[in-house]
Homo-oligomer: A and B are copies of this chain.
Amino acid sequence: MPGRLMVFAGSGSPLLTARICGVLGIEPAAGEVLTFSDGNTFVRVLENVRGADTYVVQSIVHRTNDYLVELLFWVDALKRASAGSVTAVIPYFGYGKGDKKDEPRVSIRARVCADALEAAGCDRVVTMDLHAPQIQGFFRIPVDNLYGHPTLCARIRELTPEGCVVVAPDTGFADEARMYADYLGTTVAIGDKQRTSHDESAEIMDIIGDVRGRDAVIVDDFVVSGGTLAEAAKLLLRKGARRVFAAVTHGVLAMAARDRIDRSPITRLLVTDTVEGHPAPLPAKLEVVTVAPCFGEAIGRINRQDSVSAMFPGQAAHR
């Protein structure tokens, strides 16, 4: 049996950690993180952890590298302090986007992170809606990839009491959109997005599927600037949608996002609290739903050695 359960808050996820601990009915374990004037990060665990089943909650985004390196130091500090096991809980793993060599001579950054975490002594990773499911294979240690859609769908049902159509902004998210649609018992429409030049931007050309007279819910795994959502919303309204919502697991929401979202025809943007501590002001239309119950239950199950996949019945067929 694993040892007693201890959950530490990384600098990137203090609020979510507090909520998770609330769900688990425990206090966050005592530790501290300092940043010195030369830019160095310093982590100190303030309680005995020998033999304990320890978790560090740390999203890796915005101050991406600070949070990544801090997480490595948490893991090393806990291992050298003889923790029984160390689990990195990474609600949003921002370097998941670096999952392939999509051009010559670049790094596969997610693999670099995986290797560094394993080298530091990490025993397990818990995360949510990885950018690509293959990233689990970058790790040798077990990875529990939780799903955000059940949490978001519960709120979508309240917002669209007459039902909705789920919209994938591009073909790459079609499978995940079907997962939402199945969960909601509805259908899917898909944006036909094409890159128009060599820069990052891409344009949504068309929506495949009927949205007329229905509430449309655009779904995605993360939102940075909100540009794609705003563009898709306009197109959906032109195509006859009644109202447009968006439901996105990871609300990265960088600088320009507030204006783009608030000026868009989107009625409301749902995100979870995997990302917090945004450096930029947030859109007024934003609504945050917490995934603390989901992470709390997963951590409790891991500690009790119950099945985590049993939390998500029926999801296997989709990926």
Chain B residues, Cβ within 8 Å of A111? 76, 137, 140
- The minimal Cβ–Cβ distance linking A102 to chain B, given in whole angstroms, is 4
* Residue A268 is within 8 A (CB to CB) of chain B in the complex: no
Indicate which residue in B37, B81, B174, B225 contacts A255 across the interface (CB closer than 8 Å).
Answer: B37
User: A84's closest neighbor in chain B, by CB?
Assistant: B305
Taken together as a complex, chains A and B put the C-alpha atoms of A193 and B121 apart, in Å, by 37
- The minimal Cβ–Cβ distance linking A148 to chain B, given in whole angstroms, is 17
CB pair A62–B81 under 8 Å, yes or no, is: no
* Residue A171 is within 8 A (CB to CB) of chain B in the complex: yes
Known A-B contacts A68-B69, A134-B100; the reply to A115 vs B120 at CB < 8 A is yes
- The minimal Cβ–Cβ distance linking A287 to chain B, given in whole angstroms, is 21
- The minimal Cβ–Cβ distance linking A199 to chain B, given in whole angstroms, is 10
User: A121's closest neighbor in chain B, by CB?
Assistant: B140
* Residue A240 is within 8 A (CB to CB) of chain B in the complex: no
CB pair A40–B97 under 8 Å, yes or no, is: yes
* Residue A307 is within 8 A (CB to CB) of chain B in the complex: yes
Interface of A is mostly: mixed
Chain B residues, Cβ within 8 Å of A79? 142
* Residue A262 is within 8 A (CB to CB) of chain B in the complex: no
* Residue A214 is within 8 A (CB to CB) of chain B in the complex: no
Segment with Cβ contacts to B, from A15-23, A43-51, A149-157, A158-166:
A43-51
Residue in A36, A66, A109, A256 with the greatest tally of chain B CB atoms within 10 Å: A109
* Residue A186 is within 8 A (CB to CB) of chain B in the complex: no
CB pair A225–B37 under 8 Å, yes or no, is: yes
- The minimal Cβ–Cβ distance linking A207 to chain B, given in whole angstroms, is 11
Taken together as a complex, chains A and B put the C-alpha atoms of A319 and B195 apart, in Å, by 11
Name the interface size band of chain A.
35 or more
CB pair A142–B42 under 8 Å, yes or no, is: no
Chain B residues, Cβ within 8 Å of A38? 61-62, 64, 94, 224, 252, 254
Chain B residues, Cβ within 8 Å of A98? 40, 42
Segment with Cβ contacts to B, from A230-238, A241-249, A288-296, A309-317:
A309-317
* Residue A2 is within 8 A (CB to CB) of chain B in the complex: yes
Chain B residues, Cβ within 8 Å of A267? none
CB pair A64–B41 under 8 Å, yes or no, is: yes
- The minimal Cβ–Cβ distance linking A164 to chain B, given in whole angstroms, is 19
Nearest first, the 7 A-B pairs at minimum CB distance are A103-B316, A104-B309, A134-B134, A51-B305, A171-B171, A39-B64, A45-B105
Q: Supply 28 A–B pairs (Cβ within 8 Å), ascending by A.
A: A2-B51, A3-B305, A36-B224, A37-B256, A39-B64, A39-B94, A40-B109, A44-B105, A45-B105, A49-B105, A50-B301, A76-B111, A79-B142, A82-B142, A99-B137, A100-B137, A102-B133, A103-B317, A105-B309, A112-B120, A115-B116, A116-B119, A134-B137, A134-B138, A135-B137, A137-B137, A171-B172, A198-B317
- Contacts A42-B109, A76-B111, A78-B105 known; list 6 others, CB within 8 Å: A40-B95, A50-B308, A101-B143, A115-B119, A116-B119, A134-B134
